[in-house]
Structure 1
Amino acid sequence: MDSQSIVSILMILATFGLYIGISVYNRAKATSDFYVASRGVPPFWNGMAIGGDWMSAASFIGMAGTLLVLGYDGLAYIMGWTGGYLFLTFLLAPQLRKYGRYTVPEFIGDRFGSNTARLIAAIATIIISFVYIIGQLSGSGVVIGRILEIPSMYGTMIGVVVIAIYATLGGMKGITWTQVAQYIILIIAYIIPIVFMSLQVTSNPLPWLTYGNIVNELGALDRELGFSEYFAPFAESDKAQFIALMFTLMVGTAALPHVIVRFYTVTTMKAARWSGAWALLFIGFLYLSAPAYAAFSRFILMTRVAGQPIDQLPAWTTTWVNTNLLKVADENGDGILQWKEIVISNDIVVMATPEIANLGMFVIGLVAAGAMAAALSTAGGLLITISSSFAHDIYYRLMNPQASDKKRLAAGRWAIVLATIVAGVVALDPPGVITQIVAWAFALAGGTFFPVLLLGVWWKRTNKQGAIAGMLVGLFVTITYIFFAKNGMTLFGIKDTGAGLIGVPINFIVTYVVSKMTAAPPQHLQDEVIDLRYPEQMSYKDGQVWLDDGSAK
C-alpha cells in the first residue's frame, strides 16, 4: 500500500471516529430523540444538517462527473435539485411541521384518517429510501475501493458496516449532529481542489469566476476534434428529457421522506422556513462549484492525458483502471491515447481529479474523506427514515400500539441493521451509475407522494380514497415506466431518469377525480387542513380563527 492510500485511510478513519463519537455522545434515549431529535434543533444547524443530508454521493461524487460527460445537459440536475427546495420550503415544510407528526406516513395516515393510507405510505417510503441508499452504498464502495485498490464491491461491504453502527446508535438526534460535521468536512473537501485547479490553469484562486473561460476553450477543443461543443444545449439529450429530468428532481426533492423529516426536528413553522433558507445557502456552495469542477477536470484530461503515448500515462490511471471504473485502450493502434479512447465513469471524476491535477496526497485524502462524509450523511438519514417507517408507522401505529419506548427503539434499530445489509447486497452490483439510481428514487418519491402531500395540505376536499388511489397508481406507473424506459421503450424521448413527468400528473388526476367521486372527508379533518395555513399562534376551529389566548380573531 502506497503512502497516498495510508494518508487517505487515516483521514477517513479519523472522520469515522468523529461520527461515531458524536453518535455515542448524542445517543437517542427516547423515541422523540430517535425520530425527530426532540424537535429542538436550531434553524441554522438544521439547515446545515439538511445540507449534509442532501449532499449525497450523487451530489459529491456523481454531479461533477455527470456535468463533465453531459455538459450543458447535465444542468438539469442542478436546476431540479435546487428548485425542489423552493417547493418544499414554501408549499409543504412549514405546514407539515405544524401538523406535528414524526414521519410522512404518519401525516398521511392521520390527515386522511386511514390506516390503509398509512401502510401504503410506509411501504412506499421504505421502497424509495431503499433505492436511494443503494446509490450511497455504491458511492462508499467507489471511495474505499480506490483507497485500498480493491474492486468497489468490497469497499461497499466496509461502508455498510460503518453506516449501520453509527445510524443504529444515534437515531435522529445523533444523525443531526453527525450530518453537521459531515457537511463541514465535505464542503471543504469539495472546494479546495477546484481552488487549486483554478490556480494551476488560470492563476486565479476563484474558480467560480474563471471557469467560464475554460468552457470556451473546451468548445474550441471539441470543434477541433469534431465533437459537439461541451456547452451546446441538448447535445446529449433532447428538450423533452431535459424538462422531464428537471421536473422529476424538483417534485422528488419536495416529496423525499428523509428530507421532509428534517423539518420535523425544529420547534416552529417559522424555524422550518428558516431551515429551508439556510439549507439552500449551504447547498448552493456545492452546486455552484460542480460546473467549475467539471470544466477544469475535462480541460486537464483533454490537454494533459489525451494525446499522450499509451505507455507513458500518469501512474494514477493504472490505479483507477484496477477499480474497473476507468478504461483506456489504444483502439486505432497508433500508440497515442485519443480523447475518444478514454472511457471514464461519471462516478470517479471527483475522486480522480486531485490525482489528475497532481494536487498532493493531503488533498486526495481530504477528498476521499469528504466523499465518504457525503455518502454516510445521506445514508444515515435514509436509514432513520426506513427505521421510523417500519418501527413507528407499521409496528407501533398498526401492529402493537401498546409497545413500550424500549421495544419501539429496539424495532427501529433492528430495521436499520436489516435495511443496511439488504441494500448493501444490492449495491455490490448496482443497477446503474449513482446519479441514475438516485434519480429513480426522486421519480418514485414525486410519483407517489408529491400530489398527495400538496393536495393534502392545500385542498381540504382531498379524501382517503383519493390519496390511496393516487399513491398506488402513481407508484405503479412510475416503477413500470422506469423499467420499460431503462430497456429502451420510452414516451416522447423521456428516459428512466425523467419518469416523474409521467407518474406525477397521473397521480394528480387520479387523486383529484377519485376524491371528487367519493364522499368528502369528515369536517374535523377539513378544519385541520385549513388550520395548517395559519401561524402557530392561531388555530382554525368551528369555522373561526382563534388566538392562543382563547379569543376569536
Structure 2
Amino acid sequence: MNPAIGFLAVLAVSAATALISFYGLRISRTTDDFYVASRSVPPWLNASAMGGEYLSAASFLGIAGLIMLTGINGLWFPIGYTAGYLMLLFFVAAPLRRSGAYTVPDFAHARLASPLARHVTSILIVVIGWFYIVPQLHGASLTILTATGLPSWVGAVAVMLVVILTVVAGGMRSITLVQSFQYWLKLTAMAVPVMFILLMVTGATGTPAGGAPAGAEFFPDTDPASRRDLYGTLSLLVALMFGTLGLPHVLARFYTNPDGASARRTTLLVLGLLSVFYLFPTVFGVVGRVFLPELVAGGSTDTAVLLLPGTLIGGLGGSLLSALVVAGAFAAFLSTTSGLVVSLAGVASQELFGGGIRGFRIAAVAAAVVPLGLALVTGSPALAQSVGLVFALTASTVGPLLLLGIWWRGLTDAGAVAGMLAGGLLCLTAMVAGPLLGGDSPLHRLLAEPAAWTVPTAFATMVLVSLATRGRRNPGTARFMTKLHVPERPHAVAGQGR
C-alpha cells in the first residue's frame, strides 16, 4: 500500500469522527446527556452504535487472522460473540434498562444495598475496561505500522487523542452518533473489498496477482497442532457468551434506551447487524489462507485484512481498497475505545469525582491515560485471543452478578462480593500463570482457557455464600425485582420524556 494513501485514510476517519463529536457537543447540555444520552436513543440508532463499539480490533482484524491460523476453528469466535447477544436479549437487556441505573455499580448498589458491592464492582469494571482497551491500541499500532510505515506507537497515541476529544466533547450523546457512523463505515470497509476479492479469485476479472498456489484449497485441513479440542471450545463459548453480559461499554448502551421494550428491540437489531458483518472477516480469513500463507508462517495473520486487497488486486484500485480497509480498522479502534472510555468515565466520575459533567470529563482523561501507558510498554499478541481472555474475566465476575442479581432473589451482598472476587482472582491467576507454565500439559490447557471452571466457580460461590448469609438480604429486594420484571406502562414511559 502507498503509505501516503494509508495516512490519508487514517486522517479522514479521524477528522470525520471529530466533526461528528463537535456536532454532539452542540446537543449535549445536561448530565443525563453525558452519562446516558438522556435515555432517548431510538433502537435503530442505538443498535448501530452498539454494533460500532462491539466490533473491535478482534472482530475487524483478529477473526480473519484466526481463521487463517486455525481454519474452521476460528469460526467459534464470531459464533460466540453473536451468541452473547442472545444471552443479553433473553436475560439482561430489558431488566437492566428498567433498573434506572447509570452504571453497573449503580445497579449493584440498588440491588444489594451495599457500598462494598458497589466499590468492588467499580474496581472490576475499571480493570476489565483497561484490559479491553489495550488490545484496541495494539491493533491501532499494528495498522499504523502496516499502512504507513510510521512507528507503531503513533497509532495508539492517535487513537487516544481522538477518543479523549470525542468523549470529552459530548459524552454518551456525542459518541452515540460517532459509533453509529463507524459501524456503517466498518461494514462498508469490509464488504466492498470482499466483493472485488471474490470477483478476482473466482476468475471473473482475471487471475489474481501472483496466482493461487498450486493445489490450493479454500478450506484446507486445519493443522492438527492448532485444532481446538472439546474443552477449549466449551471454555471459549462460556467466556464469550457470559462475558458479553458484563462488558461495561455494551451495558452502558442499554441505559440509553427509552424503556425495556426498546432495549430488547435494540438487542435484536444488533444480532442482525453482527451476523451480517461477520460474514466478511470470514471471507478474508479463508482467502488469506490460500493467497497469503507466508503470514501464517511469520505469525502476522492479524495483518491479512490490511494486506489482502493490495496483494490480490494491485495497482491504484488495490491501494484505494486497502485505504478503505485501513479507515474501517481505525474506526473499529476508535469506536470500541470511545465506548469503553465513556463507560469507565461514568463509573470513575461517580466514585471519585462527585459526578457531574466536569467530573465526567476528568474521569474520561484518567480512564484513557492508564491503558495507553500499558499498551506502549507491552507487546501485541493475537488480537482475538487476547480479547477472549478479557471476556473470560468478565464472565467470571460481572456476568454472574447480573444474572443472579436480576433473576434470583436470594443473592446477598456477601455472596456477590465473594463470587466476583473468587472468579476474578482465579481468572487473573490463570492469565498470569498460563504463559509462564507453557507446554501442552493438561494444567496449561486449563490455565490458558479458564472460563470453563472459573465461571461455574463464581456462580457457585455467589449461591453458597448467599445461602449462608440469608440475614444480609436487602429488605427492598422484592420491590426492586418487581421494578426489573414488570413492563413499563405506556403512559409512564411517555411521562419520562417530559
Q: Is the 8 A contact 1:439 1:497 kept in 2?
A: no
Q: Which residue is 2:366 aligned to?
A: 418
From 483, 488, 493, the equivalent of 1:531 is: 483
Q: Is the 8 A contact 2:111 2:474 kept in 1?
A: no
CA deviation vs aligned residue, 1:314-368 (integer Å, no higher than 9, x gap): xxxxxxxxxxxx6xxxxxxxxxxxxx8x314132111111122125221111111
Q: Measured at CA, do residues 374 and 424 of structure 1 come closer, stay the same or move farther in structure 2, by a change above 3 Å?
A: same
1:174-253 to 2 correspondences below 5 Å: 174-203=174-203, 218=216, 229-230=221-222, 235-253=226-244
1:369 and 2:327 correspond: yes
The separation in 2 between residues aligned to 1:496 and 1:145, in whole angstroms, is: 32
Q: Which residue is 1:89 aligned to?
A: 89
Q: CA deviation at 1:287?
A: 1.2
Q: Is the 8 A contact 1:141 1:159 kept in 2?
A: no
Q: Is the 8 A contact 1:56 1:136 kept in 2?
A: yes
Q: Which residue is 1:312 aligned to?
A: none
Q: What secondary structure does 2:428 align onto?
A: helix
1:154 and 2:132 correspond: no
Q: Which residue is 1:296 aligned to?
A: 287
CA deviation vs aligned residue, 1:258-297 (integer Å, no higher than 9, x gap): 1011111110111000000111111111212222111111
Shifted more, 140-149 versus 117-126: the winner is: 140-149
Q: Which residue is 1:356 aligned to?
A: 311
Q: Is the 8 A contact 2:218 2:286 kept in 1?
A: no
Q: CA deviation at 1:120?
A: 0.5
**Consecutive unaligned residues in structure 2, runs of 5 or more:** 206-211, 494-498
**Consecutive unaligned residues in structure 1, runs of 5 or more:** 206-213, 223-228, 307-325, 327-339, 539-546, 549-553
Q: Measured at CA, do residues 410 and 287 of structure 1 come closer, stay the same or move farther in structure 2, by a change above 3 Å?
A: same
Q: CA deviation at 1:123?
A: 0.6
TM-score, normalising length from structure 2? 0.90
Q: What secondary structure does 2:379 align onto?
A: coil
The separation in 1 between residues aligned to 2:238 and 2:204, in whole angstroms, is: 36
The separation in 1 between residues aligned to 2:385 and 2:59, in whole angstroms, is: 12
* 1:517 maps to amino acid: A
Q: Is the 8 A contact 2:434 2:444 kept in 1?
A: no
From 471, 474, 483, the equivalent of 1:522 is: 474
1:58-73 to 2 correspondences below 5 Å: 58-73=58-73
* 2:337 maps to amino acid: A
Would you identify which runs of 4 or more consecutive aligned residues in structure 1 move more than 6 Å? none
Q: CA deviation at 1:391?
A: 0.3
Q: CA deviation at 1:170?
A: 2.1
Q: Measured at CA, do residues 495 and 24 of structure 1 come closer, stay the same or move farther in structure 2, by a change above 3 Å?
A: farther
Q: Which residue is 1:323 aligned to?
A: none
Shifted more, 358-367 versus 525-534: the winner is: 525-534
Q: What secondary structure does 2:433 align onto?
A: helix
The separation in 2 between residues aligned to 1:524 and 1:64, in whole angstroms, is: 48
Q: CA deviation at 1:203?
A: 4.3
1:510 and 2:461 correspond: yes
Q: Which residue is 1:317 aligned to?
A: none
* 1:173 maps to amino acid: R
1:262 and 2:253 correspond: yes
* 2:454 maps to amino acid: G
1:383 and 2:341 correspond: yes
Aligned residue pairs, count = 478
Shifted more, 470-479 versus 126-135: the winner is: 470-479
Q: CA deviation at 1:12?
A: 2.4
The separation in 2 between residues aligned to 1:451 and 1:187, in whole angstroms, is: 32
Larger radius of gyration: 1
Q: CA deviation at 1:174?
A: 0.5
The separation in 2 between residues aligned to 1:8 and 1:243, in whole angstroms, is: 39
Q: Which residue is 2:208 aligned to?
A: none
Q: Which residue is 1:544 aligned to?
A: none
Q: Which residue is 2:352 aligned to?
A: 395
Higher helix share: 2
From 371, 375, 390, the equivalent of 1:427 is: 375
Q: What secondary structure does 1:255 align onto?
A: coil
Q: CA deviation at 1:420?
A: 1.8
Q: What secondary structure does 2:276 align onto?
A: helix
Q: CA deviation at 1:376?
A: 0.4
Percent identity, please. Answer: 33
Q: Is the 8 A contact 2:418 2:465 kept in 1?
A: yes
Q: CA deviation at 1:534?
A: 1.8
TM-score, normalising length from structure 1? 0.81
The separation in 2 between residues aligned to 1:374 and 1:361, in whole angstroms, is: 20
Q: Which residue is 1:163 aligned to?
A: 163
Q: Is the 8 A contact 1:436 1:497 kept in 2?
A: no
CA deviation vs aligned residue, 1:463-513 (integer Å, no higher than 9, x gap): 111111111111111111111122236756636563222221111011000
